Protein backbone atom coordinates (compact mmCIF):
# COMPACT_ATOMS: atom_id res chain seq x y z
CA UNK A 1 0.00 0.00 0.00
CA UNK A 2 1.44 3.34 -1.03
CA UNK A 3 1.45 5.92 1.75
CA UNK A 4 0.45 8.96 -0.27
CA UNK A 5 -3.13 10.03 0.39
CA UNK A 6 -3.69 7.34 3.02
CA UNK A 7 -4.47 7.77 6.72
CA UNK A 8 -2.28 5.58 8.89
CA UNK A 9 -2.42 5.02 12.65
CA UNK A 10 1.01 4.57 14.26
CA UNK A 11 1.49 3.48 17.86
CA UNK A 12 4.65 4.52 19.69
CA UNK A 13 4.58 7.76 17.71
CA UNK A 14 6.12 9.80 20.52
CA UNK A 15 9.67 8.47 20.26
CA UNK A 16 12.13 6.15 18.55
CA UNK A 17 11.16 4.18 15.47
CA UNK A 18 7.51 5.15 15.90
CA UNK A 19 8.28 8.86 15.66
CA UNK A 20 10.43 8.31 12.58
CA UNK A 21 7.62 6.29 10.99
CA UNK A 22 5.26 9.22 11.56
CA UNK A 23 7.67 11.71 9.99
CA UNK A 24 8.46 9.52 6.97
CA UNK A 25 4.78 8.82 6.30
CA UNK A 26 3.97 12.52 6.50
CA UNK A 27 6.82 13.29 4.10
CA UNK A 28 5.31 10.79 1.68
CA UNK A 29 1.97 12.60 1.71
CA UNK A 30 0.07 10.47 4.21
CA UNK A 31 -2.16 11.65 7.03
CA UNK A 32 -1.06 10.16 10.33
CA UNK A 33 -2.70 9.53 13.70
CA UNK A 34 0.19 9.18 16.17
CA UNK A 35 -0.61 7.23 19.33
CA UNK A 36 1.58 7.21 22.43
CA UNK A 37 1.26 7.13 26.20
CA UNK A 38 3.48 10.23 26.44
CA UNK A 39 1.82 13.57 25.70
CA UNK A 40 5.23 15.26 25.84
CA UNK A 41 6.64 12.82 23.31
CA UNK A 42 3.73 13.40 20.96
CA UNK A 43 4.14 17.16 21.30
CA UNK A 44 7.78 16.83 20.25
CA UNK A 45 6.74 14.74 17.25
CA UNK A 46 4.39 17.55 16.20
CA UNK A 47 7.24 20.04 16.38
CA UNK A 48 9.51 17.79 14.32
CA UNK A 49 6.76 17.36 11.71
CA UNK A 50 7.05 21.04 10.88
CA UNK A 51 4.99 22.09 7.88
CA UNK A 52 3.54 18.58 7.63
CA UNK A 53 1.90 18.83 11.07
CA UNK A 54 -1.38 19.88 9.48
CA UNK A 55 -1.82 16.23 8.42
CA UNK A 56 -0.93 14.87 11.85
CA UNK A 57 -3.20 14.19 14.82
CA UNK A 58 -1.98 13.00 18.21
CA UNK A 59 -3.75 10.66 20.60
CA UNK A 60 -2.34 10.19 24.11
CA UNK A 61 -3.45 6.87 25.55
CA UNK A 62 -2.20 3.52 26.76
CA UNK A 63 -2.66 0.71 24.25
CA UNK A 64 -3.09 -1.62 27.24
CA UNK A 65 -6.41 0.08 28.00
CA UNK A 66 -8.91 -1.74 25.78
CA UNK A 67 -11.71 0.74 26.41
CA UNK A 68 -9.50 3.65 25.31
CA UNK A 69 -8.33 1.73 22.25
CA UNK A 70 -11.89 0.89 21.23
CA UNK A 71 -12.77 4.59 21.39
CA UNK A 72 -9.80 5.58 19.24
CA UNK A 73 -11.23 4.97 15.73
CA UNK A 74 -13.98 7.53 16.30
CA UNK A 75 -11.38 10.12 17.29
CA UNK A 76 -9.19 9.34 14.28
CA UNK A 77 -12.15 9.43 11.89
CA UNK A 78 -13.20 12.80 13.29
CA UNK A 79 -9.76 14.17 12.45
CA UNK A 80 -9.07 12.48 9.12
CA UNK A 81 -12.32 11.03 7.74
CA UNK A 82 -10.80 7.66 6.89
CA UNK A 83 -8.40 5.01 8.18
CA UNK A 84 -6.33 2.98 5.71
CA UNK A 85 -3.47 1.55 7.72
CA UNK A 86 -2.20 0.54 11.13
CA UNK A 87 1.41 0.23 12.26
CA UNK A 88 1.78 -1.35 15.70
CA UNK A 89 5.19 -0.08 16.78
CA UNK A 90 4.82 0.65 20.51
CA UNK A 91 6.79 -1.72 22.69
CA UNK A 92 8.88 -2.02 25.84
CA UNK A 93 11.63 -4.28 27.10
CA UNK A 94 12.03 -5.96 30.47
CA UNK A 95 14.76 -5.38 33.06
CA UNK A 96 17.94 -7.23 32.05
CA UNK A 97 17.57 -10.08 34.54
CA UNK A 98 17.10 -13.82 34.31
CA UNK A 99 13.56 -15.20 34.34
CA UNK A 100 14.00 -16.58 37.85
CA UNK A 101 14.65 -13.05 39.12
CA UNK A 102 11.98 -11.23 37.11
CA UNK A 103 8.99 -9.99 39.07
CA UNK A 104 5.51 -10.93 37.88
CA UNK A 105 4.61 -7.26 37.68
CA UNK A 106 7.33 -6.74 35.05
CA UNK A 107 6.26 -9.88 33.16
CA UNK A 108 2.65 -8.75 32.98
CA UNK A 109 3.61 -5.21 31.97
CA UNK A 110 5.70 -6.42 29.03
CA UNK A 111 3.01 -8.82 27.85
CA UNK A 112 0.29 -6.20 28.23
CA UNK A 113 2.11 -3.62 26.10
CA UNK A 114 3.83 -5.84 23.54
CA UNK A 115 1.16 -8.49 22.98
CA UNK A 116 -2.22 -7.37 24.29
CA UNK A 117 -1.68 -3.84 22.99
CA UNK A 118 -1.19 -5.25 19.50
CA UNK A 119 -4.24 -7.49 19.89
CA UNK A 120 -6.45 -4.61 21.06
CA UNK A 121 -5.32 -2.28 18.27
CA UNK A 122 -5.59 -4.92 15.55
CA UNK A 123 -9.02 -6.23 16.56
CA UNK A 124 -10.33 -2.69 16.91
CA UNK A 125 -9.13 -1.38 13.55
CA UNK A 126 -9.36 -4.51 11.37
CA UNK A 127 -13.12 -4.24 10.63
CA UNK A 128 -12.57 -0.67 9.43
CA UNK A 129 -9.59 -1.64 7.29
CA UNK A 130 -11.52 -4.50 5.69
CA UNK A 131 -14.01 -1.92 4.46
CA UNK A 132 -11.38 0.16 2.65
CA UNK A 133 -10.43 -0.32 -1.03
CA UNK A 134 -6.78 -0.83 -0.01
CA UNK A 135 -5.45 -1.25 3.51
CA UNK A 136 -2.43 -2.49 5.42
CA UNK A 137 -1.41 -3.72 8.89
CA UNK A 138 2.25 -3.65 9.92
CA UNK A 139 3.25 -5.26 13.20
CA UNK A 140 6.69 -4.76 14.70
CA UNK A 141 8.12 -7.90 16.25
CA UNK A 142 11.85 -8.16 17.00
CA UNK A 143 14.98 -10.15 16.30
CA UNK A 144 14.32 -11.39 19.85
CA UNK A 145 11.07 -12.90 18.58
CA UNK A 146 12.92 -15.62 16.67
CA UNK A 147 16.26 -15.80 18.50
CA UNK A 148 16.47 -16.02 22.32
CA UNK A 149 18.14 -13.16 24.17
CA UNK A 150 19.22 -13.96 27.75
CA UNK A 151 17.87 -11.37 30.12
CA UNK A 152 15.00 -10.61 27.72
CA UNK A 153 13.17 -13.93 27.82
CA UNK A 154 9.70 -12.49 28.45
CA UNK A 155 10.27 -9.67 25.95
CA UNK A 156 11.24 -12.32 23.38
CA UNK A 157 8.17 -14.38 24.21
CA UNK A 158 5.94 -11.33 23.69
CA UNK A 159 7.54 -10.59 20.33
CA UNK A 160 7.34 -14.24 19.27
CA UNK A 161 3.62 -14.03 20.04
CA UNK A 162 3.38 -10.94 17.81
CA UNK A 163 5.19 -12.87 15.07
CA UNK A 164 2.69 -15.72 15.03
CA UNK A 165 -0.27 -13.40 15.56
CA UNK A 166 0.77 -11.45 12.48
CA UNK A 167 1.49 -14.51 10.37
CA UNK A 168 -1.93 -15.88 11.28
CA UNK A 169 -3.52 -12.54 10.41
CA UNK A 170 -1.72 -12.59 7.06
CA UNK A 171 -3.20 -16.01 6.29
CA UNK A 172 -6.69 -14.90 7.36
CA UNK A 173 -6.48 -11.81 5.14
CA UNK A 174 -5.48 -13.62 1.96
CA UNK A 175 -8.09 -12.76 -0.66
CA UNK A 176 -9.10 -9.54 1.10
CA UNK A 177 -8.00 -5.95 0.49
CA UNK A 178 -5.86 -5.94 3.67
CA UNK A 179 -2.16 -6.63 3.27
CA UNK A 180 -0.10 -7.66 6.31
CA UNK A 181 3.61 -7.16 7.06
CA UNK A 182 5.73 -8.35 9.97
CA UNK A 183 8.96 -6.45 10.78
CA UNK A 184 11.90 -7.76 12.81
CA UNK A 185 14.20 -4.98 14.02
CA UNK A 186 17.63 -5.91 15.31
CA UNK A 187 19.60 -3.58 17.56
CA UNK A 188 18.23 -0.06 17.06
CA UNK A 189 19.80 3.06 18.60
CA UNK A 190 16.73 4.23 20.51
CA UNK A 191 15.94 5.08 24.13
CA UNK A 192 13.84 1.93 24.61
CA UNK A 193 15.59 1.06 27.90
CA UNK A 194 14.89 4.50 29.34
CA UNK A 195 11.35 4.62 27.96
CA UNK A 196 10.67 1.15 29.36
CA UNK A 197 11.77 2.32 32.79
CA UNK A 198 14.48 -0.34 33.04
CA UNK A 199 17.74 1.52 32.47
CA UNK A 200 19.64 4.43 30.93
CA UNK A 201 19.12 5.85 27.48
CA UNK A 202 21.02 4.77 24.40
CA UNK A 203 23.97 7.14 24.89
CA UNK A 204 24.61 6.07 28.47
CA UNK A 205 24.11 2.40 27.64
CA UNK A 206 26.65 2.50 24.83
CA UNK A 207 29.15 4.45 26.90
CA UNK A 208 29.15 2.28 30.02
CA UNK A 209 31.51 -0.32 28.57
CA UNK A 210 28.98 -3.13 28.96
CA UNK A 211 27.03 -2.73 25.75
CA UNK A 212 27.34 -5.58 23.23
CA UNK A 213 29.80 -4.78 20.44
CA UNK A 214 27.70 -4.72 17.28
CA UNK A 215 26.50 -2.06 14.91
CA UNK A 216 23.16 -0.45 15.73
CA UNK A 217 20.70 0.72 13.10
CA UNK A 218 19.57 4.34 13.30
CA UNK A 219 15.83 4.74 14.03
CA UNK A 220 15.26 6.75 10.84
CA UNK A 221 16.86 3.98 8.76
CA UNK A 222 14.79 1.33 10.53
CA UNK A 223 11.60 3.30 9.90
CA UNK A 224 12.48 3.75 6.23
CA UNK A 225 12.94 -0.01 5.82
CA UNK A 226 9.55 -0.63 7.44
CA UNK A 227 7.71 1.93 5.30
CA UNK A 228 9.41 0.58 2.16
CA UNK A 229 8.23 -2.92 3.11
CA UNK A 230 4.67 -1.68 3.57
CA UNK A 231 4.70 0.10 0.23
CA UNK A 232 5.78 -3.04 -1.62
CA UNK A 233 3.37 -5.27 0.35
CA UNK A 234 6.21 -7.38 1.75
CA UNK A 235 5.26 -10.29 3.98
CA UNK A 236 8.29 -9.83 6.26
CA UNK A 237 11.26 -7.50 6.59
CA UNK A 238 14.50 -7.83 8.54
CA UNK A 239 15.49 -4.42 9.91
CA UNK A 240 19.27 -4.23 10.22
CA UNK A 241 22.15 -6.44 9.13
CA UNK A 242 22.22 -8.17 12.53
CA UNK A 243 18.58 -9.23 12.21
CA UNK A 244 19.18 -10.50 8.66
CA UNK A 245 22.22 -12.50 9.72
CA UNK A 246 20.57 -14.05 12.78
CA UNK A 247 17.41 -14.86 10.81
CA UNK A 248 19.47 -17.05 8.49
CA UNK A 249 21.51 -18.58 11.30
CA UNK A 250 18.44 -19.28 13.46
CA UNK A 251 16.83 -21.26 10.66
CA UNK A 252 19.97 -23.22 9.77
CA UNK A 253 21.42 -23.74 13.24
CA UNK A 254 19.07 -22.53 16.00
CA UNK A 255 21.28 -23.76 18.84
CA UNK A 256 24.29 -21.92 17.39
CA UNK A 257 22.23 -18.75 17.01
CA UNK A 258 21.23 -18.90 20.68
CA UNK A 259 24.87 -19.33 21.68
CA UNK A 260 25.99 -16.38 19.53
CA UNK A 261 23.44 -14.08 21.19
CA UNK A 262 24.32 -15.37 24.67
CA UNK A 263 27.99 -14.55 24.09
CA UNK A 264 27.14 -11.03 22.93
CA UNK A 265 24.70 -10.24 25.73
CA UNK A 266 26.08 -12.04 28.78
CA UNK A 267 27.84 -8.96 30.18
CA UNK A 268 24.49 -7.17 30.50
CA UNK A 269 23.24 -9.74 33.00
CA UNK A 270 24.06 -9.42 36.70
CA UNK A 271 26.24 -12.19 38.14
pLDDT of residue 195: 58
In angstroms, the CA 170 to CA 91 distance is 21
Q: Which of 61-65, 68-72, 97-101, 255-259 shows the lowest per-residue confidence on average (mean pLDDT)? A: 255-259
Q: Nearest-CA neighbor of 186 among 17, 4, 14?
A: 17
155 is catalytic: yes
Q: Nearest-CA neighbor of 245 among 221, 232, 264?
A: 264
pLDDT of 213 higher than 80: no
pLDDT of 191 higher than 70: no
- Domains of the chain (ranges, CATH numbers): 7-268 (3.40.50.720)
pLDDT of residue 193: 56
pLDDT of residue 265: 80
pLDDT of 129 higher than 70: yes
Q: Nearest-CA neighbor of 49 among 33, 73, 72?
A: 33
pLDDT of 184 higher than 70: yes
Three-point CA angle 109, 66, 34, nearest 5°:
85
pLDDT of 206 higher than 80: no
Segment 53-94, tens digit of pLDDT = 999 999 999 999 999 999 999 999 999 999 999 999 999 999
Q: Which of 104, 120, 155, 170 is catalytic?
A: 155
pLDDT of residue 200: 57
pLDDT of residue 32: 98
In angstroms, the CA 115 to CA 26 distance is 27
Mean pLDDT of all residues belonging to the chain: 92
Q: Are 147 and 246 in contact (CB under 8 A)?
A: yes
Average pLDDT over residues 153-165: 98
pLDDT of residue 270: 74
pLDDT of residue 202: 43
Amino acid sequence: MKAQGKTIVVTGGGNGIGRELVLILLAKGARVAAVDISEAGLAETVVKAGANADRLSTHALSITDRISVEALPESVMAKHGQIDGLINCAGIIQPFVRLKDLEYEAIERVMNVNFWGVVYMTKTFLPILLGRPVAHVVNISSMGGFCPVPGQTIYGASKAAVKLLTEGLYAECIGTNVKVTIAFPGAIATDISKNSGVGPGKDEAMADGKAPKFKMTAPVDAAQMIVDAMERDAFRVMVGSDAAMLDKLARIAPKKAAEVIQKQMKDLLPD
